[in-house]
Amino acid sequence: MFMPSGNCYCCCGCLAYDTSITVAAGESRAIQEIRVGDPIYVAMDAELKTWAQVPIQFSSGTGGDSKSSMIQVSFGDGVKAESVIATRNQLFLLPGGKLKRASTLVPGQDVLVRPDGSHAPVLDLVSGLFNKGVHMISTSTSTTTDLGGHLIVANGVVCGDYSLQLTHLEQAKPELMAGGEDELPEFGTKQYGQRYKHLFADAFKAHVATTQLKVAGEHDEGGHEGFTPYALIAPLSVPENATAFLTLEQARDIEANAPRAPIHSGAGKDIVAYLFKLFKGFYPNVHFYVDDTTELPNAYSFINYDLPMVVINGGLIRTVAVQYESLAFIIAHQLAVLYGGSPKGDDGYTCKGQADYAALVAIFPYVWFGYYTSPMLQPAIDQTKVLYDFIDPKNRQGAPGNSCNLISIDCRISAMEAAVSFMPLPECAGGPLTATLEVLDAVAELVGEDLVNVTITFNDKLDVASAQSLGNYGFNPLAPLLGAAVPATDYTKVVVQGRLALDTEYVVSVQDVLTSSGHPLVRGKNSATFTTPKLP
């Protein structure tokens, strides 16, 4: 197992079912038919000078009906290409006794080695889905850094066996690797295309830019039964009215800036499959789907012919920043789009901030019952923040005045943090208006024998109707009040008239007064102390 800084996934070196393994000079068998104790033909030295039959000590695989992401490595003279289908970590022998993994091979640059020492140039790499099983064999039951006795022949080229695959040779014995200790870029990543300028390379294929590549399907000439190139798998058609986790611009920023595992790695597939099964148990009417071949990192919710749908793009689950808790949150968010309640947009789906909020306060506790919820919450927020950090600042901003689906990233984070802090949904996300109104001071003025005007000053313009409601003011000590008025010259003040004792300290408390935009009073900042004047 290989553990990147995200979801774990298997990348041990394996070969496709029906790969031809040489078992004796001029004789071969399909790899899945080779059992422990069966002899196979192996090189006893890296120079391929001595060959011998050595019994297999380990033979295992996935079975014949599994589905695995694999790489088709084509090689030869270009007239009649040959190929091997392997997982990304499979080791191939290069000239000079060096090894290289399948996912780091470079068409037009690297050449494979045949058992007689002749060369077979690498022509192209194609990633795809293989549905007939993978298998691995080894001449020992422990890891090794010794090439002797561990170099097998697969489809006519020399490869490493499973014991070599399990050894992290880049660290254990870097002199055996073509790249030494360097982390070579993997086929299917942006870094691979940037480094090898002579190639046409995308997420699905790589070949010399001056040649044309026909991606063969399993029923085409040159295609392998059971192997379907990802380039031939049509992406899911998501309707235009689907509610996305990210805006198109935000998703493109993450696609451009965030590290992402290549499609042939299978990264994230097991995690999302587990989470889909888990959520399906609680939301049996929802259809969950991974659009594996779509690189744009995003997720969608929509209703198709009365069937609720949640779709996760493969580019999102392969993004390194997306880990177990954040992926669970994204799925919960998309469910909350369907079931998260008000506020809702014109399309009838729950608004983004409320979906973020409901995902953590309603859906997580429903799926992870009781104390199992708490350990999920903060990691989900922290991991999602890391994902958001890859968005360009200009695309983090929301649309002014929009509190539904075009809110800012900072507002979405506030909604998540409010959810775990037992606070209401933030105003920016459609929640109640934030308390902003404060009482600054109060000053008393004698206007009659026992009539006193108390001028209360606030930090914002007032809603006149609420400010002139006499029942919103209370005095301690108690005093009879006669009226309240907002001066036409200053809407931040209100004058309350009453019969107050002179030369006495009072506290005026204000309630239910609003700003002109409807914001309520801040708790704890709604009173002021003043002293009435003495008799002149």
Element spanning 169, H or E: helix 169-172
Write the single-letter amino acid at 335.
L
Cβ–Cβ under 8 Å, residues 528 and 459: no
pLDDT of residue 170: 86
Residue 212 scores a pLDDT above 50: yes
Residue 249 scores a pLDDT above 90: yes
Q: Averaging pLDDT over each range in 5-19, 209-223, 242-256, which range is the top one?
A: 242-256
Q: How confident is the model at residue 12 (pLDDT cuts 50, 70, 90)?
A: low
Tell me the two tokens of residue 347.
């399309």
Identify any residues that bridge with 157 across adjacent strands, giving them in sequence order: 154
Residue 416 to residue 364: CA distance in whole angstroms: 12
Higher pLDDT, 520 or 4: 520
In which residue are the tokens 């029923």 written?
Answer: 219
pLDDT of residue 438: 97
Task: Specify the pTM.
Answer: 0.79
pLDDT of residue 509: 97
Higher pLDDT, 180 or 447: 447
pLDDT of residue 25: 87
Residue 215 scores a pLDDT above 80: no
Q: Is 17 exposed, middle or buried (0-12, 13-18, 19+ CB in 10 A)?
A: buried
Specify the pairing of strand 307-313 against strand 287-291: parallel
pLDDT of residue 182: 82
Q: Averaging pLDDT over each range in 4-13, 166-175, 181-190, 390-399, which range is the top one?
A: 390-399
pLDDT of residue 1: 32
Residue 297 to residue 317: CA distance in whole angstroms: 8
> All domains of the chain, ordered by start, with CATH?
15-208 (2.170.16.10), 243-429 (no CATH), 439-531 (2.60.40.1220)
pLDDT of residue 9: 39
Residue 121 scores a pLDDT above 90: yes
Q: How confident is the model at residue 218 (pLDDT cuts 50, 70, 90)?
A: low
Average pLDDT over residues 352-362: 97
Tell me the two tokens of residue 152.
């097998």
